[in-house]
Amino acid sequence: MPAGMTHEEHMAQMKKDAEMKQHGAMAMGFDQDKATHHFTLTAHGGAIAVGANDPADQATRDQIQAHLKDIAAAFGRGEFDKPLMTHGEMPPGVAAMQRHKSEITYTFERSERGGIVRIATPNADALNAIHDFLRYQIREHATGDPLTVRE
């Protein structure tokens, strides 16, 4: 049990994590235990990277690529249904990302084990929203990625 947590808090966190994995599998189209997420904050936006844990797992890699390609297109239209489905709540930053959708670009790139969605904007308000969104993802997915801007 993590330090500083009561048994009840730990049990509630475990339940929330299990639900996120289940909902994430439905929303994303791949088994969450077969992939690793990473989120990066940059000076101009950030990135969402997902890769299959097993380099020989082409099925998961293909599912990840299809998902990230769809995510890049949906986010570009201001649609954030899949994060809502995965987390059971709208992540911080989404409202501003929707308002500034014409000033944010989402670019999908394939990688050896999956892919990356690069997010960029010249707008300061949109940039803060992107960072809020990515920090939320880092915490929710417990990736251990830095919560600060990296170049």
Contacts (Cβ under 8 Å, ≥6 apart) of 38: 47, 48, 49, 50, 143, 145
| d(C-alpha 93, C-alpha 101), whole Å | 12
51/36 Cα distance (integer angstroms): 5
In this structure, are residues 48 and 39 in contact, taking their beta carbons and an 8 Å threshold? yes
From first to last of its 151 residues, what are the pLDDT tens digits of the chain?
A: 567 767 776 555 555 555 555 555 555 666 888 999 999 999 999 999 999 999 999 999 999 999 999 999 999 999 998 766 765 778 999 999 999 999 999 999 999 999 999 999 999 999 999 999 999 999 988 899 999 997 6
pLDDT of residue 106: 98
Query: How far apart are the C-alpha atoms of 90 and 102, rounded to whole Å?
Result: 20
Q: What is the model's pTM?
A: 0.82
Bin 144: left if φ > 0, else alpha if -120 < ψ < 50, else beta.
Answer: left
